A and B are shown apart, each in its own frame.
Chain A
Amino acid sequence: MANPLLAGTPGETHLLLGNEAIVRGAVEAGIQFVSCYPGTPSSEVPDTFFRLSPDGSYTFEYSVNEKVAIEVAGGATLAGAMSMATMKHVGVNVAADPLLTLAYTGSPGGFMLLSADDPGCHSSQNEQDNRIYARIANLPCLEPATAQECKDMARAALTISRELGTPALLRTTTRVNHLRGPVVLAEPTVLPKPAGFQKNPARFVPIPAFARPMHLRLLGIMDKLRALAEQSPFNTVSGKGTVGVVASGISRAYLADALAETGLEGKVKVLELGFSHPLPENLVAGFLDGLKTLLVLEELEPVLETEIRALAQKRGLTLTILGKAPGPMPRFGEFDAAMVAVALREVTGVAEPKADCACQAPQAAPLPNRPPNLCAGCPHRATYLAVRKVFGDSAVYSSDIGCYTLGILPPLKAADFLVCMGSSISAGSGVSKVSGQTVVGFIGDSTFFHSGMTGLVNARFNRHDILVVILDNRTTAMTGHQPNPGVDKTSLGDNPVRIDIEQVVRGIGVEQIRKVNPLNLKATLKAIEELKDLKGVRVLIAEEPCPLFARRALGQKRTQVAYVAADCAEAARDGSCGDCLNTLACPAFRLDAAGKMAIDPLLCSGCMLCLQLCKNIKAHKGDSK
């Protein structure tokens, strides 16, 4: 059956994930080129494009990092293709350089950046607000709140970008990317083949003499965009009264529910800004006229609040503007409907309703936590165990971004600090340089290609002293097994151009290299011991596929499972017990009803690491899983 995202009939309603709706919106706009670097909460957008690519009329690529993704898509739009790039919020930092200059050169074919922000840090290292990029890069910014808007705004952003020849920003947040709702499909646009690159150096080469007029051109486009925002169907006014609320993004959904909850529907004036940058100043000033108090609802930074405050000053309006500073809304984390209801009651003076009953919402009890963990059979656990056996707490462990960051948990404790994608090698180099401390840096295969290679070149060039452990599990595991340049296989078939990490490391000039299968504990320990005794840049490549990926994509089946053959309680008493329960923390381990060490045969992946730690653990044939 053809996928409705590509072949759905206009007028049909489908239940779509926000990220799927973005794909459909791009298809309806006539998308021709898509690049990305995966990252939660954006990943389902590129993954859906990838899965549908055999049937789609677009070209798709997983780029090696976000900067490259915008550059490739930038080239595509310069050659006339309707293009987009997708990434999570912190990825835009990596890509900021090409993004800001692409705004100068313009995007003749159309270009949309999807920035998926993560208020609340559900799966990120910070909660930066990327609407600010729309301001420094001079991009139109659209902020959907529903699945339908994800589709409609993706389409609109691409269409506006192509019409004005300027890049556009679609800014989402985790809740929007990962909500599901009904979406009514529309007729896709069919675009002509890309016209090809049209030579015009004054337009496309930002040497200083050309960059200055390019900046002026961009400022002129901002005026046109502002005029579009004034008329945009995504910006709506409703209600009446002397109290007003301006809301953007997912805050609009919380506002709608809070108005219904408080009975204030229609009793306050509401301006919803879906097309929020550049600020439609006339629309906003007209809305402010006659208001005594304004509440601005936007998660994270007071971006609109500040702009509206400036506008009020410019237009001589003297109303009270509340948001974050001053105001009841926090500058961190997510909002919800209840929080907005409290703020609405505060600004309108409507009293809290009496509770229907005297009962209280239940309180949380202190309970054992259930943190995510490295899976049973994860090769990273084996590498961490070996490194810890050799270095213990004597080394500083410089970590990076991937599943392997979960090594932070005891008993492995293999993450002492972390900055960003690709930082383990370079930041680790800095620590050892100034302190003389022993540093072990961990980095995954995809992260190595993303921005670890440059750190390794730097470490070699500046003669740093660091042991780099490349945790090569043959896929991009954390974000959902996306391909990277080193993989053998993807979900769509073989990778014919596999780039060999060992050759890359050798090409950089590192000579002290060992390559092991980390599930072979003895060989791994020997390699680490050897590298420990050396100085300078040393690289251990620990290569073994992610067991989930091996099962799903490589078709590997486990042949054996581990079981506890002897009474470990007895072994602990006579001193022959290696205490694998405490050193390995494999999720397949447990204490049975009698309090004895046991291995769950359903959870065991058959990696056989624990057999190498304890003579009381043995293997037998497992059923195929």
Chain B
Amino acid sequence: MSLRLRIFMTGVGGQGTLTATTLLARAALAAGLPVTSGEIHGMAQRGGVVESTLLINCKSPKIGPGEADILLGFEPLETLRALPYLKPGGLVLSSAESLPPLSVATGKEQCPELEEIKKRVTAACGRARFLPCRSLGIEAGAVQSGNIALLGALCAMDVLPFGKDVIAGAIRATMKPKVAEVNLKALDLGAACQAA
């Protein structure tokens, strides 16, 4: 039977979590894989959590607790919150740059420090990598492309059944040339960052 792969993605409204999910799904389809992705939106624009999924060789669009092979976190606190979805020994790729919730930004609540988040995530999974996604996005030309840098890093880890070139193809096929250029650069920066 073909390999089943479940990727859980999480981020904050406005970060482009769903854009990254759709791009990855298009790439999987272009690679000829039976792909299903899922998303929960409705509150996405109002600064809430946005979660999405991508599954290969599965029928379900949903990932239950302990089922995800890979967790992609576009914000470190949300990476930590989504950890229960990861299967034992799973892989975590996360942004290392935080967007504090309002309660934390205004001093009403405390959020774990990045080092603490890294420690907890690393203890819970097989492999964890943290990338400065926002900075990579800004370097590529637009802060929103930071999530594409995370996809680049994922490609460099050789865990997907398709390569970076397939994602690059999906970017070129679906984005306007100027936006595509920024995102292709972000994809490369993310891959290079992981390889380094």
Contact = CB atoms under 8 A, between A and B. Distances in A.
Q: Do A and B come from one complex?
A: yes
A102 B25 CA distance: 41
A364 interface: yes
A595 B107 contact: yes
Interface stretch (A283-291, A354-362, A417-425): A354-362
Interface stretch (B34-42, B147-155, B156-164, B186-194): B34-42
B93 to A, nearest CB: 15
A356 B39 CA distance: 30
B19 interface: no
Nearest to A368: B109
Contacts of A591: 105-107
Given A179-B61, A181-B36, A375 B86 contact: no
Contacts of A334: 62
Interface stretch (A195-203, A249-257, A605-613): A249-257
B83 A181 contact: no
Given A178-B41, A182-B35, A359 B89 contact: yes
A145 B36 CA distance: 11
A375 B86 CA distance: 31
Contact of B88 (A146, A357, A369, A374): A357
B67 interface: yes
Contacts of A257: 4, 58-60
B76 to A, nearest CB: 11
B86 A361 contact: yes
Contacts of A361: 65-66, 84, 86-88
Given A123-B42, A178-B39, A260-B4, A368 B64 contact: no
B29 A182 contact: yes
Measured as residues with beta carbon below 8 angstroms from the partner, the interface class of chain A is 35 or more
A1 to B, nearest CB: 11
Task: State the main secondary structure of chain A at its contact with B.
Answer: loop
A15 B59 CA distance: 15
A317 interface: no
Interface string B95-121: 000001111111101111000000010
Interface in B14-52: 22, 25-26, 29, 34-43, 45-49
A585 B84 CA distance: 30
Contacts of A406: 46
B81 A364 contact: yes
Interface string A339-371: 100000000000000011101111111011111
B65 A146 contact: no
Contacts of A253: 36, 59-61
Contacts of A357: 88-89
Nearest to B111: A368
Nearest to B105: A590
B1 A260 contact: yes
B80 A360 contact: no
Contacts of B112: 365, 367
Contacts of A179: 36-39, 61
A373 B47 contact: yes
Nearest to B174: A15
Interface in A574-593: 581, 585, 587, 589-591
A368 B104 contact: yes
A473 interface: no
A362 B83 contact: yes
Nearest to A371: B48
Contact of B47 (A122, A260, A372): A372
Contact of B62 (A256, A337, A368): A337
Contact of A367 (B13, B25, B59, B81): B81
Nearest to B78: A370
Contacts of B4: 257, 260
Interface in A362-404: 362-365, 367-375, 403
Interface in A177-234: 178-182
Contact of B66 (A15, A41, A338, A375): A338
A276 interface: no
A362 B40 contact: no
Nearest to B100: A590
Given A146-B59, A178-B40, A179-B37, A364 B1 contact: no
Contacts of A123: 42-43
Nearest to B170: A15
A370 B59 contact: no
Nearest to B27: A15
A392 to B, nearest CB: 21
Contacts of B41: 40, 178
A458 interface: no
A245 to B, nearest CB: 14
A337 B64 contact: yes
Interface in A230-268: 250, 252-254, 256-257, 260
B12 interface: yes
B182 interface: no
Interface string A84-97: 00000000000000
B77 interface: yes
Given A179-B37, A590-B106, A362 B42 contact: no
Nearest to A176: B61
Contact of A181 (B35, B62, B100): B35
Given A13-B29, A256-B59, A257-B60, A372 B65 contact: no
A180 B22 contact: yes
A309 interface: no
B67 A337 contact: yes
A548 interface: yes
A138 interface: no
B124 interface: yes
Given A13-B29, A41-B42, A403-B46, A369 B103 contact: yes
B142 interface: no
Contacts of A530: none
Nearest to A376: B47
A535 B43 CA distance: 37
A595 B110 CA distance: 13
A558 interface: no
B166 interface: no
Contacts of B64: 336-339
A514 interface: no
B13 to A, nearest CB: 7
A489 interface: no
A548 B38 contact: no
Contact of B111 (A178, A367, A403, A548): A367
B84 A363 contact: yes
B5 interface: no
B125 interface: yes
A557 interface: no
A515 interface: no
Nearest to B37: A180
B109 A372 contact: no
17 contacts: A174-B40, A175-B62, A176-B61, A179-B39, A179-B61, A336-B60, A336-B62, A337-B64, A337-B67, A359-B88, A362-B125, A365-B80, A368-B103, A370-B48, A373-B47, A548-B45, A581-B107
